[in-house]
Amino acid sequence: MRVFLSIGDRSAANYVHAIFREGFEDKDLLGITDRRLESIGIKSVASLDDITVVGLVEALPKLPRVLRVFRRSVEALKGCDVLIACDAPGFNLRLIKKARDLGVRRVIYFISPQVWAWKPERAKVIAEFCDHLVVILPFEVDIYRPLESERFRVHYVGHPLVDLVRPGVDRETFLEMVRSKGDLLNLMPGSRWGEIKRHVPLMGEVLKKLGLRGVVPTFRNFRSFIAQRLRGAVVITEEEIPLPAYTAMFYSRSSLIASGTASLEAAIAGSPHVVIYKVNALTYWIGKRFVRVPYVSLPNLILGRGVVPELLNPRLEDLLGAVSKLWESDKERALQREAFLEIRDKIGGSGSVSRLRSLFQELLSF
């Protein structure tokens, strides 16, 4: 059986790595990959870095590259039995339609687009062109259940992050490796170049104005850029510390995080944090008018209340105030940690990776 994995996001790549690293040796796996996915035997048709982008205006310079990847993916699909499309709706909703035309026998969507936030019509597209949808947030089941049919099924067995979020080393080893004897502010500017370039200057101002020492877990291709612009921070990658992002979350006093999956990871790690996000002014204006949810961070959405401060395109003084308040207040940090304990139960508890592996083995057995 030949299976194409269309992965357009680093978080999705982490989940696929955890699920597919064993138990699929009898399958021919290929797709859009990164180094870690290639290390478990998934053949590369294109690089994940070529299609990861957030924002309407921000996507325009990358469009020719994305189109090339799409054409290569369509060509590769011609000999495949199964397509597993992971997140990245701008790319994958077009690909699942092509898959049907090419005669792919089974189409599976893993990680639903955020139809609860905007573009709800995407749910109907998935129901029309997919055989199975695997969601990782419990409230998504209720959205898709009315769309189920004899051909289209929705599955939920928990969120893989509950199993994946853990420190790579103990606290003492971590502090020794980052050469710190005091408290650290964990800075997570994002996993895409656009996010890095927009958020690093803001984070640099926070360190400078508040006189804090920071740690920045990141990928090696961002290391030099970040190190040059964040003089008050230690930049770490997996080359120095196993699971650098999770380790920094567990052992820092608090975190400042670009909105995305990292916020949910921090909640699972029990790391009190502030969420920020900066985008082009036009993207922000459009988003304000079309996004239909009261929160942008996953912890707040899952809990249904504003536990984590969210600052979108923030003024510097507002950002300084939010970070300083959380840093100084034991009570504020304790309130977040207490709320975060609820999240593990709400997203399925431990063992989700094993359950997802079993589910995909079942879905690929036909």
122, 232: one domain = no
Q: Is the dihedral of CA 47, 51, 54, 60 positive or negative?
A: positive
pLDDT tens digits, residue range 214-239? Answer: 999 999 999 999 999 998 899 999 99
Tell whether 181 is covered by a domain. yes
Report whether pLDDT(134) > 80.
yes
Q: Which two tokens stand for residue 259?
A: 């909105």
Residue 347 has pLDDT above 90, yes or no: yes
Q: Which of 250, 251, 271 is nearest to 339 (CA)?
A: 271
Residues 82, 182: one domain? no
Would you place residue 55 in the very low, low, confident or very high pLDDT band (cuts 50, 70, 90)?
A: very low
* 336 and 353 inside one domain: no
Residue 148: inside a domain: yes
Per-residue burial over 63-77, b if 16 or more Cβ lie within 10 Å, else e, is eeebeebbeebbebb
Structural domain boundaries enclosing 113: 2-159+349-363
If pLDDT is split at 50, 70 and 90, which confidence band does 285 have? low
Q: Does 68 map to a domain?
A: yes
pLDDT reading at 353 higher than 70: yes
* Mean pLDDT of the residues in the chain: 91
Give the chain's domain count.
Answer: 2
Say what percent of the chain tops pLDDT 70.
93
Q: Are residues 150 and 205 in the same domain?
A: no
pTM: 0.88
Q: What is the pLDDT of residue 200?
A: 95
Same domain for 149 and 102:
yes
If 0-12 CB within 10 Å is exposed, 13-18 middle and 19+ buried, where does residue 345 land? exposed
On whether both 134 and 176 belong to a single domain, the answer is no
Same domain assignment for residues 175 and 282: yes
Domain with residue 293: its CATH number is 3.40.50.2000
